[in-house]
Amino acid sequence: MRFTRLITRRFGRERAALYDVELEHLFKKGYGTEEIGTLLETQAFPIGIFDILSMLTRSTLSVKDLEKSLFFLFNRHTVIRETLSKLLKPKSRILDVGCGRGLVACSLALEGFEVHGVDVSADAIEIGKNLAEKLDCRPTFSLIKENKLPFPNEYFDAAVCVWTLHEVSQDQIPKLLAEVGRTLRKSSTIFIIDQDGVAPFENIKNIMDQQGFELVLEKSLSPVYDHGRNSQAIMVKYVKRDLER
């Protein structure tokens, strides 16, 4: 409970709910309540101190910018929700590509969007479903294989890829983005939020252009230190061209 309150105060109830759900997931896998509690009580705080000091040393960020980085990395679901709420119509149908444990999907669903999250990890999908139940929201989650999406053509108003494409091999990115494009309606949008210098943004731009998308917005969201690199969290917005015009 003490950690739940601390996380709620710093990062909000959605992140705290994910903490609770991840604990429950580990308990189901056979980890003991007491051993996990002892591990967190004895190790989390001192290890966190050394991790933060190491980040300062390696990144050369100012303390203020490191605070911004940590806040974004642990709270990006709210940044994305607030940003997309200004750019999309209410109740838009959104595809969350590489949804992970469902934090972004649930956050958008709580805002009133119809959200469908997909991921290659069965554990992540299970955690996402449990998180949605705990937060009393209704995104759907689907496991995908070989970049095939279980949705019809032109089904979505928008798609988001949050910290996803840097995890996808270079040869698979065109296939995944083509499949995402297939599910998007004409003149709809795809938002890619990822780390500059880690995600291959130039390659992505070339792929999107070849697949009939136009880059209409590029925005820096926060300084970040992640993947051993000091850079920026970038959001790019593409619009699917209406080729019938």
- 175 burial via Cβ count (<10 Å: 0-12, 13-18, 19+): middle
Residue 60 falls inside a structural domain: no
Domain assignment present for residue 59? The answer is no
Shared domain check, 110 and 6: no
Asked if residue 63 belongs to a domain, the reply is no
What's the sign of the alpha-carbon dihedral 227, 231, 232, 236? negative
The verdict on 35 and 135 lying in the same domain is no
pLDDT at 245: 46
Q: Which pLDDT score is estimated for 243?
A: 58
Q: Are residues 76 and 48 in the same domain?
A: no
**Crossing angle of helices 173-183 and 201-210, rounded to 10°:** 50
Sign of CA dihedral 173, 174, 179, 183: positive
Whether 97 and 45 share a structural domain: no
- Residue 43 within a domain: yes
Residue 224 and residue 141 share a domain:
yes
Domain that holds residue 110: 72-240
Residue 155 lies in a domain: yes
Q: Phi and psi at residue 235, in whole multiples of 5°?
A: -115, 125
Q: Give a yes or no: residue 45 inside a domain.
A: yes
236 within domain boundaries: yes
Q: What is the pLDDT of residue 146?
A: 85
Do both 37 and 85 map to the same domain? no
Whether residue 164 lies inside any domain: the answer is yes
Q: List pLDDT tens digits, range 141-198.
A: 999 988 899 999 999 999 999 999 999 999 999 999 999 999 999 999 999 999 999 9
Using one digit for the tens of pLDDT, what is the confidence trace for 100-157? 999 999 999 999 999 999 999 999 999 999 999 999 999 999 999 888 999 999 999 9
In this structure, the strands spanning 184-195 and 156-162 are parallel
- Whether 143 and 180 share a structural domain: yes
User: Do 41 and 152 fall within a single domain?
Assistant: no
Mean pLDDT of 28-36: 94
- Same domain assignment for residues 157 and 218: yes
- For the record, the structure tokens of 84 come out as 């997309």
Tokens 């909000």 belong to 12
Q: Where are the beta strands (DSSP E) in 45-85?
A: none
CB 78 within 8 A of CB 12: yes
